[in-house]
Amino acid sequence: MRTSLSNHGDPRKALIGCILVCCFEGLAGNILTALAHARSGQKLLQEWLSLYPTTGKAVAGFSSPASHIIEDELMQAASFFDHQIVGFFDSRPAEVHSSMRHDGDALVENMPDDFKTLEEARLYHILLQRRAAHFICEICKSRRGQHTLPTENEVLEAAMGNLPIDLGPSMWHLADIDYECVMLEGQYRIEQARWGSAFGNLYWNVQRSSNQKFSTAAHVLAVSRKSMDIALTAAVDTNNCSFDKHLSEFQDIVVLCKEIIKAKKNASQAEYSFELGIIPALHLTANWCRDRFIRRDAISLMQWYAAREGLWDSLMLAAMCTCLMELEEDGIETDYIPESSRCAITNATVDQEGKCAILAYLRGSRETGQSYGEARISW
């Protein structure tokens, strides 16, 4: 691949190469190396797109600005890079997120009122998830300051040693949220609600059919939408107890994920998938739901699933969430976890073999007092 690109500089070959390498590294469990290539792929895609400024036609969502060079299907597949990075590891500044949350503005404005196929629903879903995730990253980074994240060269050398990785925004200890953020959060919640409305009839019809594959795929979309609703609401909350109001949504996620994993296991499907599915939603539930039964169910499902979706490893995240749960429940005799005992993982330093990590966490809140600590996990 390197020889071909150095001789010809073909952006299409480069994107295909990056996607394949990310898949191979993700399948092998080399998360840090996969992250490095995902970042490179996203940078390559953005540089190529900058050569074709849009003129009123939104191309960032579904279509290529020069399909004779890079076809639409490859553009859609290449959205893998941004979709993975923005939810798991992202060193880009708030200004980049502010720009990228506008990807596909015209497409969203003209989104159908009723999706006809699961593929149509899936394409709009990925676009809306990316936009909302960029919004969340923007407000979190702009209000708590930039992370001290590794440079690009350090990321590319990740396989050679330990590397700290960011696990996404710890939303609850932000500074006060201003009116503009609340209004923007409402905008993205409306987008999610519009998608849910357009998906409703299709979802109902698919569940009534006998096609197990389509039914499972529809459940995955429903789970992902529910988790984004929770994340958007939490993005403008400054209280670690704000997740408690989402108990019914957390329960729904666990119930649906149990059906999805059961169907996948029965179908003997592979333990790796190119796209994100249910692991981010289960991680969100196990991380932020303090109901002891639901939380343990979510962790158990990640362990039972024992799969990787892109850069997300369910066993690694189950180990992290188990550690967090034990830290929070230590010394607490009641079912309720008080705010002073609640923790958020702020950083994870994963070893080069990707089998153990040191977690940095923050306990408490600005109101109850905060303290930092570290814990070691393996999986």
Write out pLDDT tens, residues 200-246: 999 999 999 889 999 999 999 999 999 999 998 888 776 778 899 99
pLDDT of residue 40: 86
At 241-256, the pLDDT tens digits run 889 999 999 999 999 9
Q: How many CB atoms lie within 10 A of CB 26?
A: 25
Top mean pLDDT of 96-110, 145-159, 165-179, 208-222 is at 208-222
pLDDT of residue 59: 44
Instruction: Beginning with the edge strand found earlier in the chain, give each strand of the sheet holding 369-378 in spatial order.
Output: 163-165, 343-350, 356-365, 369-378
Query: Is 81 inside a domain boundary?
Result: yes
Residue type, 289: C
Q: Give Cβ neighbours of residue 38 (< 8 Å, ≥ 6 apart).
A: 18, 22, 80, 81, 84, 85, 311
Query: Is 65 inside a domain boundary?
Result: no
Measured between alpha carbons, how far is 16 from 4 in angstroms, rounded to an integer?
A: 12
Measured between alpha carbons, how far is 197 from 96 in angstroms, rounded to an integer?
A: 30
State the average pLDDT over residues 144-159.
42
pLDDT of residue 60: 47
Query: Is 244 inside a domain boundary?
Result: yes
Query: Is 31 inside a domain boundary?
Result: yes
Top mean pLDDT of 184-188, 194-198, 265-269 is at 194-198
| Averaged pLDDT of the chain | 83
Choose between 357 and 221: higher pLDDT.
221
Question: Do the beta carbons of residue 138 and residue 97 sit within 8 Å?
Answer: yes
Closest by CA to 323, choosing from 280, 284, 376, 371, is 376
* CB < 8 Å & 24+ apart, contacts of 107-113: 107/58, 107/61, 107/62, 108/61, 108/191, 111/194, 111/195, 111/198, 112/198, 113/197, 113/198
Which residue in this structure is represented by tokens 């109850």?
Answer: 368
Reported confidence tier of residue 7, pLDDT bands at 50, 70, 90: low
pLDDT of residue 224: 95
Q: How many CB atoms lie within 10 A of CB 148?
A: 9
Is the pLDDT confidence value at 361 over 60?
Answer: yes
Reported confidence tier of residue 354, pLDDT bands at 50, 70, 90: low
Q: Give Cβ neighbours of residue 43 (< 8 Å, ≥ 6 apart).
A: none
Question: Do the beta carbons of residue 164 and residue 150 sit within 8 Å?
Answer: yes
Choose between 364 and 80: higher pLDDT.
364
**Cα first-last separation, the chain:** 33
Residue type, 209: S
Reported confidence tier of residue 143, pLDDT bands at 50, 70, 90: low
Is the pLDDT confidence value at 52 over 90?
Answer: no
pLDDT of residue 284: 94
Measured between alpha carbons, how far is 211 from 125 in angstroms, rounded to an integer?
A: 21
Percent above pLDDT 70 for the chain:
84
Which of 8-12, 103-107, 285-289 shows the lowest per-residue confidence on average (mean pLDDT)?
Answer: 8-12
Q: How many domains does the chain have?
A: 1
Q: How many CB atoms lie within 10 A of CB 311?
A: 23
DSSP secondary structure of 16-66: HHHHHHHHHHHHHT-HHHHHHHHHHHHHHHHHHHTTS--SS---SSS--TT
Query: Is 131 inside a domain boundary?
Result: yes
Residue-range definition of the domain harbouring residue 308: 2-60+70-378
